[in-house]
Amino acid sequence: MSQSIVITSGKGGVGKTTTTANLSTALANTGSSVVAVDADIGLRNLDLLMGLENRIVFNLVDVVKGRCTARQAMIKDKRSPNLFLLPTSQVDDKNAVSPEEMGGLVEELRKGFDYIIIDCPAGIEQGFRNAIAGADRAVVVTTPEVSAVRDADRIIGMLQHHDVPSQLIVNRLSMKMVESGEMMSQEDVVDILAVDLLGVIPEDSEVVVSGNQGVPVVLDTSSEAGAAYSRICRRILGESVPFPDFAEKRGFLTRLFRR
């Protein structure tokens, strides 16, 4: 039973591609076969975060247009033998592919993979419609900012319209700012969006470092964000994993004196 999951957000820069790279890696490390599909045609990024940019020969548009097979275009990950990347084209734009064609591609990929993780572009236009065309469900990524939450709300509404159930990831949560009342808490975000919370990723500078190196942060077990992605992966696999209180990490005394 293969599953296709689209990672989407509406707003740009909230961590869709990072989430795609990390969840794909984490899922592959559990033994599932995974393909990460970069649907952000024209703004190719996912290959960078996975450290695979110099291996690209064919891309998603080539596959859809029949210029090559999906097997030929897919790149095997450096580290995990179960993980493949289907990179996108850097020279075409979103209109190069139709939702029907994307739906067909996902159907084809289902035959060979347990999980198809689709990295959706920002926006609500054709690129979005393409990315969700073959998705069984959606993971909506937002940051605790009013603009990101507003866009996520719009996206969730559109996903409902297309009958795609959605779950939420709150990315870049800074517990310090939440405590000082400068940032929305995860509860505030869930209260507004009223969807299931799949996970919370704390603000962590390791994400930027690992992204630049092309090594998903989830492989770094000591980083907070990496651990959070591992937990989300287990939740996707159906495990019930408790949500840790990020404030606990501050230590008992610090918390005591802060009050």
Partner 1 sequence: MNISGAERSVEIKGFGGALGLVLDKAAPFEVIESDLRQLLQDTSSRRFFQGSEIVLGPDTRTLSAEEFSKLNQILQEGELELKPLETNGNAARLRKLRATESRGSKADTPTPKADTKPILEEAESEVVPESAAASPQLALPTLETVVPPAENPTPVNQEKSELHPGLNTDSGLIVRQTLRSGQTIKSKHSVIVFGDLNAGAEIESEGDIIVLGTIRGMVHAGISGDATVTVLGLRMQPTQIRIGSYISQPPAEKSGSIVTGPERAFVENGQIVIESQACGPAELIAMLLTFQRRGARSKVASRGSVPAIAVGAIRL
Give the residues lining the site for partner 1 (CB under 8 A).
99-100, 103, 133, 150-151, 153-154, 156-158, 160-163, 192, 194
C-beta of 160: minimal distance to partner 1 in Å? 8
C-beta of 121: minimal distance to partner 1 in Å? 18
Query: What whole-number distance in Å separates Cα of residue 247 and Cα of residue 170?
Result: 16
Here the tokens at position 217 are 């942060």
Q: Which is nearer to partner 1, 194 or 253 (CB)?
A: 194
Q: Which is nearer to partner 1, 181 or 242 (CB)?
A: 181
In angstroms, how far apart are the furthest CA atoms of the chain? 64
Query: What whole-number distance in Å separates Cα of residue 242 and Cα of residue 108?
Result: 35
Q: Which is nearer to partner 1, 61 or 193 (CB)?
A: 193
Here the tokens at position 225 are 């964000």
C-beta of 25: minimal distance to partner 1 in Å? 31
Query: What whole-number distance in Å separates Cα of residue 226 and Cα of residue 107?
Result: 30
C-beta of 65: minimal distance to partner 1 in Å? 20
Q: Which amino acid is residue 228, in one-letter code? A: A
Burial of 71 (0-12, 13-18, 19+ CB in 10 A): exposed
Q: Which is nearer to partner 1, 70 or 152 (CB)?
A: 152
- The answer to whether 168 and 195 are in contact (CB under 8 A) is yes
Q: Which is nearer to partner 1, 101 or 220 (CB)?
A: 101
Three-state secondary-structure class, residue 54: helix
Q: How many helices and strands in the chain, by DSSP H and E? A: 12, 8
Q: Which amino acid is residue 66, in one-letter code? A: G
Q: Which is nearer to partner 1, 48 or 124 (CB)?
A: 124
Q: Which amino acid is residue 149, in one-letter code? A: V
Query: What whole-number distance in Å separates Cα of residue 18 and Cα of residue 143?
Result: 13
C-beta of 41: minimal distance to partner 1 in Å? 19
C-beta of 191: minimal distance to partner 1 in Å? 8
